[in-house]
Structure 1
Amino acid sequence: MKERPLVKSLAAEQSADAALGVLSHFRVEFYDCLYTRADALFELTDAVLCSDGPVTSLVELTLTAEHRRGHGAMYDAVNHGWLEPRRLRRLLASTPLPRAADGRIVLAVDVSNWLRPDAPTSPELLFCHVYGRGRSADQFIPGWPYSFVAALETGRTSWTAVLDAIRLGPCDDATAVTATQLREVVTRLVHAGQWRLGDADILVVMDTGYDVTRLAYVLADLPSSWSAACARTASCSGTPAHAAPPRAADSPASTAASSPSPSRSPGTPLTRPRRATPPATARPKPSPGTGCTPACRLVAPGSTTAANSL
């Protein structure tokens, strides 16, 4: 059987002994997070990580060398096993994190869809906007959107440290869920000693689908800076200390241009009809300052101009 190196998934600057020590400690702590059917869930996790390709069937995982039990034990673990999520989140926050070149923590926020087109009876399905399926055309496919927070590092590597994941429901406000998720992640990092007074602010990066102005205002008390793409060729960045709530005096151009892109919406409820509003009953365009969409206007430290979306 081909040997699979384990050290490559850890920080490159660590020695082999130190990296294996971190890995061994994580495996012990992860096993303690499993409360019911712990052995079967632990072997199932090893089988997923050591699989030679994408996992397309749970039964195939029972054929790997890491899974020493039969398929019956696997189904029993999936149906009746239990993992304590809060303990796992604290464990992930205490593990050595990848950092940027200047030593600061960089967190990325995004939504990834678990498409379930063949599971119409699954609860709380949403219409997920995806690309590259069906002649490279964008489509809406039923599935579950998940909001992820991951720590990034510089350099040519595809490894990221996922710190949290939450499934978005039909009635959830994506911005409110993201704000709560980021607050909990940063709080755990501070409690774990990953950030201390005097360190550089935690940089949070996101794309055009997020209301960065609202997030920066709501999370202004956190030691974090923000960077978000406002258009294909523009970006907004700044720190919460310089952020302000949306003002009524914002210009119509900046107010309308910073509206979140509908293509990056986490999901559309299945019960919501997607019909265009007839011209006769179309709502009038709100006047500037009515609070329809907040302007993306964050001033970077030391800058004299605002980075407005174009």
Structure 2
Amino acid sequence: MSLPVSESAGDALDVLSRFRVEFYECLYARADALFELTDAILCKDGPVQTLVDLSLEAEHRRGHGALYQALNTGWAEPARLRSLLASLPVPRAVDGRIVLAVDVSTWLRPDAETSPDRLFCHVYGRGRSKDQFIPGWPYSFVAVLESGPTSWCRLLDAARLGPADDAAAVTAAQLRNVMQGLIAAGHWSKGTPELLIVAAAGYDLARLAHLLGDLPVEVCGRLRSDRVLARDPAPHNAHPRPGRPRMHGAPFALARPATWGDPQTETRTDTTRYGAATAQAWDRLHPRLTRRSAWITDQNAELPVLHGLVVRLTVERLPGGRDPDAVWLWSSRPGVDRSHVDQLWRSYLRRFDLEHTFRLLKQTLGWTVPKLRDPAAADLWTTPIIAVHTQLWLARPAAQDLRRPWERPLPADKLTPARVRRGFRNIRAKAARPAAAPKPSRPGPGRPRGSINRTKAPRHTPGKTVKRAETLDQHYGRTG
């Protein structure tokens, strides 16, 4: 993938200025305060540690009261912002393909009993069996990936998962909106390669591919090592039996090599860090779906048979002398072309660049720093965070390497997001600043001195509020 923005610093500033003006137009309420809050995040020296400190930045010309009022009463048009993000240049693969990554990052709020819509978020702990479930707000992010060793990606959308939401359905709707924006912006047309979506092992890949079956996409993700898939059954005429023809053939158990058989294709790539990387592929394997949980539909409808490609990736060694484990991938597009197999596992490994973005959002830009009570305010706060990351991505050609004495120098096209942000104050002086100057006003009277707030905020219990039917009988109310 190549960097889509122009190599000229002047052209990059023009694109950045246009984005800033159109982003300002997406803010329908408290636009000036929200826009200057975005500039304060961009120009602050060091990481954002408290929300109120942003009001002390020179770029934020309003008081701390306006900052909190903007988050509590402001509004940004999500559809218009999504279209704006999709209209910008996007990275592409060598063959012109767009690779999208989808993943969930959590905003933990364990002690916020007065905050609604919290879910139990899975958090990895140090050591074996140290995982925890902590209340918080999970957000689903969609980003465009780049190639090569980089910590960059292009964020396109973020959606919070609520207690009554189906994660697969929300993710599919989110991806559908993003893809429609990319198609409307001219990034895809008939005759060009399909968009590739890479996901982690926690996603229901088969259902995601089924929900997006009418779009030009290919879904690829990791499978758990204990999954069992099925081959196509033998022709009905070969073994005539009374009754209905079989839907599933011989099993393909990932944990039992005896069920694999010979792969249809095998590729080998030499890497500098992991040694030889071997990818084996088996074509036209499908998961065995049952009428439970998410696949409960019309009782007379047939469950789909979703053929795909299974790839087993192994490496020669891992850093630290650890024993390498095989990585199993499933793609919704059958076909054992060697270049296709190589692109799948390379694109999946690039999915981990999104983790660098999550760390930047949390540790540097302060995405999870504010102690906001209302989830709507948290959604609004996420909007300037995405705008900040997008402006850093657009300002890369115009940025200078303001490195610390102990840091290594980097080429202009290899600057990290933190280094680009370090010099953004100089870039902002040359870019458009559509926010209006603040008007003088008097502060409100506030609460009378000596009075006590006797109205207690309601408490909310975290967790799911909607339980799906587990069986077909429960779904249709049959008692036996």
CA contact (8 A) 2:140 2:161 kept: yes
Match of 2:100 in 1: 107
CA contact (8 A) 1:230 1:296 kept: no
Match of 2:335 in 1: 302
What is the CA distance between 1:292 and its match in structure 2? 4.6
Q: How big is each residue's C-alpha offset from its partner over 1:85-119, in whole Å with a ceiling of 9 and x where there is no partner?
A: 11111100101112223321110011110111121
Q: Whole-Å Cα distance in 2 between the matches of residues 228 and 289 of structure 1?
A: 17
> Is 2:141 the partner of 1:148?
yes
Q: How big is each residue's C-alpha offset from its partner over 1:214-271, in whole Å with a ceiling of 9 and x where there is no partner?
A: 111221111111211113699x9xxxxxxxxxx95266665999xxxxxxxxxxxxxx
Classify 1:250/1:41 alpha carbon distance in 2 versus 1 (closer, same or farther; 3 Å): farther
Unaligned ranges ≥5, structure 2: 230-245, 257-287, 296-304, 310-332, 342-480
Q: Whole-Å Cα distance in 2 between the matches of residues 205 and 28 of structure 1?
A: 32
User: 2:33 pairs with 29, 35, 40, which one?
Assistant: 40
Q: Whole-Å Cα distance in 2 between the matches of residues 16 and 226 of structure 1?
A: 36
Aligned residue runs from structure 1 range 1-310, under 5 A: 11=4, 14-132=7-125, 137-231=130-224, 249=248, 290-292=290-292, 298-299=308-309, 300-303=333-336
Q: Whole-Å Cα distance in 2 between the matches of residues 89 and 290 of structure 1?
A: 36
CA contact (8 A) 1:248 1:291 kept: no
Classify 1:131/1:50 alpha carbon distance in 2 versus 1 (closer, same or farther; 3 Å): farther
Q: Whole-Å Cα distance in 2 between the matches of residues 232 and 50 of structure 1?
A: 46
Q: Whole-Å Cα distance in 2 between the matches of residues 289 and 147 of structure 1?
A: 25
CA contact (8 A) 1:248 1:289 kept: no
What is the CA distance between 1:52 and its match in structure 2? 3.2
Q: Whole-Å Cα distance in 1 between the matches of residues 62 and 145 of structure 2?
A: 36
Classify 1:110/1:251 alpha carbon distance in 2 versus 1 (closer, same or farther; 3 Å): farther
What is the CA distance between 1:289 and its match in structure 2? 6.2
Match of 1:279 in 2: none
Structure 1 residue matching 2:56: 3-state secondary structure:
coil
Q: Whole-Å Cα distance in 2 between the matches of residues 233 and 249 of structure 1?
A: 18
* One-letter amino acid matched to 2:308: L
TM-score by length of 1: 0.73
CA contact (8 A) 1:249 1:289 kept: no
Q: How big is each residue's C-alpha offset from its partner over 1:44-68, in whole Å with a ceiling of 9 and x where there is no partner?
A: 0111223334333210111222212
Give the stretch that moved more between structures: 53-62 or 160-169: 53-62
Q: Whole-Å Cα distance in 1 between the matches of residues 155 and 48 of structure 2?
A: 19
CA contact (8 A) 1:212 1:226 kept: yes
TM-score by length of 2: 0.48
What is the CA distance between 1:11 and its match in structure 2? 4.7
Structure 1 residue matching 2:121: 3-state secondary structure:
strand
Q: Whole-Å Cα distance in 2 between the matches of residues 86 and 73 of structure 1?
A: 25
Q: Whole-Å Cα distance in 1 between the matches of residues 13 and 129 of structure 2?
A: 43
Classify 1:231/1:289 alpha carbon distance in 2 versus 1 (closer, same or farther; 3 Å): closer
Give the stretch that moved more between structures: 216-225 or 248-257: 248-257
Unaligned ranges ≥5, structure 1: 1-9, 237-246, 258-287
Q: How big is each residue's C-alpha offset from its partner over 1:117-163, in whole Å with a ceiling of 9 and x where there is no partner?
A: 12111001111001146999211111000111111111222122111
Larger radius of gyration: 2
Q: Whole-Å Cα distance in 2 between the matches of residues 158 and 147 of structure 1?
A: 19
* One-letter amino acid matched to 1:184: N
The alignment's C-alpha RMSD in Å is: 3.1
Match of 1:262 in 2: none
Q: Whole-Å Cα distance in 2 between the matches of residues 169 and 100 of structure 1?
A: 34
Classify 1:142/1:256 alpha carbon distance in 2 versus 1 (closer, same or farther; 3 Å): farther
What is the CA distance between 1:303 and its match in structure 2? 2.5
Classify 1:191/1:129 alpha carbon distance in 2 versus 1 (closer, same or farther; 3 Å): same
Classify 1:252/1:123 alpha carbon distance in 2 versus 1 (closer, same or farther; 3 Å): farther
Classify 1:116/1:248 alpha carbon distance in 2 versus 1 (closer, same or farther; 3 Å): farther
Q: Whole-Å Cα distance in 1 between the matches of residues 249 and 117 of structure 2?
A: 37
**How many residues are paired up?**
255
* One-letter amino acid matched to 1:74: L
Match of 2:472 in 1: none
Structure 2 residue matching 1:137: 3-state secondary structure:
coil
Q: Whole-Å Cα distance in 1 between the matches of residues 254 and 155 of structure 2?
A: 33
Q: How big is each residue's C-alpha offset from its partner over 1:67-93, in whole Å with a ceiling of 9 and x where there is no partner?
A: 121111111211221111111111001
Match of 1:284 in 2: none
Classify 1:204/1:135 alpha carbon distance in 2 versus 1 (closer, same or farther; 3 Å): closer
